[in-house]
Homo-oligomer: A and B are copies of this chain.
Amino acid sequence: MKNLPSIDEVARLAGVSIATVSRVMNNSKPVNPETRKRVERAIAATGYRGNAAGRSLAMAQSHLLMVLVPDFANPFYAQIVQGVESVIRPAGYKLLLTDAAGDEAPHTTALDAIYNRLADGVINLAHLNDDGTLLGELRNLPWVNCSEYLPKAGPPYVSIDHRQAAIDAVQFLLNRGHRRIGLITADETYRWAQLRHEGYEMAIERAGLKPDAQLVRLAASLDYDAGAQAAGGLLALLEPPTAVFAVSDTLAIGAIKAFRRAGRRVPEDIAVVGFDDLPLSAVFEPALTTVSQPMRELGATAAEILLARLSGQRPASRTLGHQLVVRDSA
């Protein structure tokens, strides 16, 4: 690649100092209109565009924000990232994306980015090991957690109220007259899974029903198959549930497929409620009744918090609203 023009070529051509060129590039200080015109012409003539590294070094800012994503291929995260970008870009920042999958220590990557000054801040969507020290450290860094509910001691976060959302979902089933409601949960080192599980238990108890451990199934992963398998366990019960709440749509869909294969109709024989409202969930048949999270807004809010943090404020965590979307599966 050929050598790019640098600021002093432009200065020489325009017959000004590099300081002036810098000023017109950034509109940072008033410049005489005539001079400005000359500089602009020189910029156009040379095709000068500036050099990011020089700029970053001088300003001690990279204008890059890192987003740590657990899994690119999951559209759930993709929408959050869109939300992030929508507020970051107008503010002059760019996205440094890292897939936490395949990274032994994902948050180390992100921490490095900050300490390296590669990124000015981090928005983390990935699971954080509840290491007390880590949380304390993050608190003092330009770091925001998104879609994971964190203890007060940690950095600010944006999330929905997972527990309440689960209560809403189960309450909906209760309102429809269901009394035997199963739960398909996922790895509960994920705090959202744990919270949704808690919500399920609370709703059941509040309704005066007695919890039945047999009705709770732990899916091996978030895949359809894992959902189907967990559903199979429920079906095998002497007294199977008449309704199931799954902590994610993928699990719910897997469960529905399993129920159907076993000759059960959904929702007539067994109702299913999911969580997330993936794009797929509306298209699937029966269309899924599920809890929808404001994905883009989660991302946008996280970005706003981070930007506020970068401008020296101390923004608080935020909890956004969720919504039960009633469709055909329950």
Contact = CB atoms under 8 A, between A and B. Distances in A.
A253 interface: yes
A85 B89 CA distance: 22
A52 B116 contact: yes
B62 A73 contact: no
A98 interface: yes
Contacts of A112: 49
Interface in A275-328: 279-280, 283-285
Interface in A15-72: 47, 49-54, 56-57, 60, 62, 64, 72
Contacts of A279: 73
Interface in A61-106: 62, 64, 72-75, 78-79, 81-82, 85-86, 89, 94-99, 102
A190 interface: no
Report the contact-size class of chain A (Cβ under 8 Å from the partner). 35 or more
A329 B4 CA distance: 55
Interface of A: 1-2, 4, 47, 49-54, 56-57, 60, 62, 64, 72-75, 78-79, 81-82, 85-86, 89, 94-99, 102, 112, 114-118, 140-142, 224, 253, 257, 279-280, 283-285
19 contacts: A47-B115, A49-B116, A50-B116, A53-B56, A53-B60, A56-B56, A72-B79, A73-B78, A73-B279, A75-B75, A85-B99, A94-B98, A95-B96, A95-B97, A95-B98, A96-B96, A97-B97, A257-B283, A285-B285
